[in-house]
């Protein structure tokens, strides 16, 4: 199937992008790795594609003020290979599992976040770390916490007339460790179930807090404080029953996904705790 006909524009400034979006039925095109398949299957039929690839101000990648800022046109492969990504170790753990290398060479970090696929890795990372997503519209810019950004499957807090201009990930603090695990049919596929974890310990190795985000298990990434569940597998199973609410499909039932979540969560919380203790002298 081919995409329905559409107009294509490539503005050179953010103001021009916003003017195009304000004109009606338009979609933002960055890397296109999520959007183009949607168009090809005619699940979306925008009248205009607004290519933001020529907006130089959206290509920033820098560590400032304790955050890693990733602009809207930064490709996933660029982030993966950058020195800046070392400030957020969880990104280095996750990026090799985001599609395939060829897809990451075209796909953008913000594009994946804006697409809001509930089985995608980067929205889960943003949720677990408490990232901030910046969006802009003709009324100005606003900053949206990740916890409020993902409103449903393929649905975000950004309106049709706004564009995601960047995401800010908090840099790692001393004593923080991370874990990541997912089960997919093949490497590079979207996850049947996955978790990202963050654990923080003090100088004595005592756990101060632990956080977990599950993905592929609901309409949005699901984040919970799991400090009390680090050594409680029974509690993790109860958590799985609470948070895994996606329906079964040909790839796995709800019960199967709950078992996957339980195994992954138990394993990756312990990995995060070990990594956190290594970060302490």
| pLDDT digit string, tens, across residues 107-136 | 999 999 999 999 999 999 999 999 999 999
CATH number of the domain enclosing 42: 3.30.43.10
Which pLDDT belongs to residue 261? 96
2 within domain boundaries: no
List, as one string, the DSSP characters of 62-123.
Answer: EEETTEEEEETT-BHHHHHH-SGGGGSHHHHHHGGGSS-HHHHTT-BHHHHHHHT-TT-HHH
- Which structural domain range is residue 269 located in? 176-279
- pLDDT per residue as tens digits for the range 195-233: 999 999 999 989 999 999 999 999 999 999 999 999 998
Handedness of CA 165, 44, 107, 50 (dihedral sign): negative
List, as one string, the DSSP characters of 182-203.
Answer: EE-SSTTSPPSEEEEEEEEE-T
- One domain, residues 68 and 164: yes
Looking at every residue in the chain, the average pLDDT score rounds to: 93
- One domain, residues 139 and 199: no
3-state class (DSSP) for residue 39: helix
> Which of 139, 170, 201 is where one domain is finished?
170
- One domain, residues 32 and 100: no
Q: Give the rounded percent of residues in the chain with a pLDDT score beyond 70.
A: 99
Q: Give the rounded percent of residues in the chain with a pLDDT score beyond 90.
A: 81
The mean pLDDT value for 42-59 works out to 93
Better-predicted residue by pLDDT, 238 or 189: 238
Domain total for the chain? 3
Choose among 76, 103, 116: nearest CA to 92: 76
- One domain, residues 84 and 40: no
CATH number of the domain enclosing 103: 3.30.465.10
> Which of 170, 195, 220 is where one domain is finished?
170
The mean pLDDT value for 10-15 works out to 96
- One domain, residues 30 and 73: no
Model confidence at 280, in pLDDT bands (50, 70, 90)? low
- One domain, residues 28 and 126: no
Order the strands of the 48-51 sheet from edge to edge.
7-9, 48-51, 26-29
Q: How many CB atoms lie within 10 A of CB 218?
A: 16
- One domain, residues 118 and 89: yes
The mean pLDDT value for 150-162 works out to 95
- One domain, residues 144 and 208: no
16: which residues sit within 8 A by CB, 6+ positions away? none
- One domain, residues 130 and 222: no
246 contacts 254 by C-beta, under 8 angstroms: yes
Structure tokens at 249: 């499909």
For the whole prediction, is pTM greater than 0.85?
yes
Structure tokens at 78: 């660029």
Distance between CA atoms of residues 136 and 163, nearest Å? 5
Q: Is the model's pLDDT at 279 over the cut of 70?
A: no
- One domain, residues 162 and 82: yes
The mean pLDDT value for 10-22 works out to 95
Distance between CA atoms of residues 98 and 100, nearest Å? 6
Which pLDDT belongs to residue 155? 95
- Residue 3 carries which DSSP code? P
Q: Is the model's pLDDT at 180 over the cut of 90?
A: yes
> Which of 170, 188, 208 is where one domain is finished?
170
- pLDDT per residue as tens digits for the range 240-265: 999 998 876 777 788 999 999 999 99
């Amino acid at each position: 199937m081919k995409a329905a006909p559409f107009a294509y524009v490539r503005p050179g400034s953010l103001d021009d992008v916003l003017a195009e979006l304000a004109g009606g039925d338009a979609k933002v095109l960055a890397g296109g790795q999520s959007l183009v398949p949607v168009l090809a299957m005619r699940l979306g039929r925008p009248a205009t594609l607004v290519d933001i690839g020529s907006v130089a101000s959206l290509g920033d990648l820098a560590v400032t003020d304790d955050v890693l800022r990733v602009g809207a046109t930064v490709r996933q492969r660029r982030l993966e290979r950058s020195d800046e990504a070392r400030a957020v170790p969880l990104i280095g753990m996750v990026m090799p599992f985001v599609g395939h290398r060829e897809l990451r060479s075209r796909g953008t970090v913000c594009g994946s976040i804006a697409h809001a696929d509930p089985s995608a890795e980067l929205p889960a990372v943003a949720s677990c770390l408490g990232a901030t997503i910046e969006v802009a519209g003709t009324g100005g810019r606003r900053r949206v916490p990740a916890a409020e950004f993902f409103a449903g499957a393929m649905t975000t807090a950004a309106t049709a007339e706004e564009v995601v201009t960047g995401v800010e990930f908090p840099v790692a603090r001393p004593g923080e460790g991370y874990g990541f695990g997912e089960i997919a049919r093949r490497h590079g596929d979207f996850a049947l179930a996955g978790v990202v974890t963050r654990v923080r310990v003090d100088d004595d190795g005592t756990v101060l807090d632990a956080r977990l985000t599950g993905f592929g298990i609901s309409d949005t990434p699901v984040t919970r404080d799991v400090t009390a569940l680090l050594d409680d597998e029974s509690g993790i199973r109860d958590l799985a029953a609470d948070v895994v609410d996606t329906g079964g499909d040909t790839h796995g039932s709800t019960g199967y996904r709950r078992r996957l979540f339980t195994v992954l969560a138990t394993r990756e919380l312990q990995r995060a705790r070990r990594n956190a203790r290594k970060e302490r002298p």
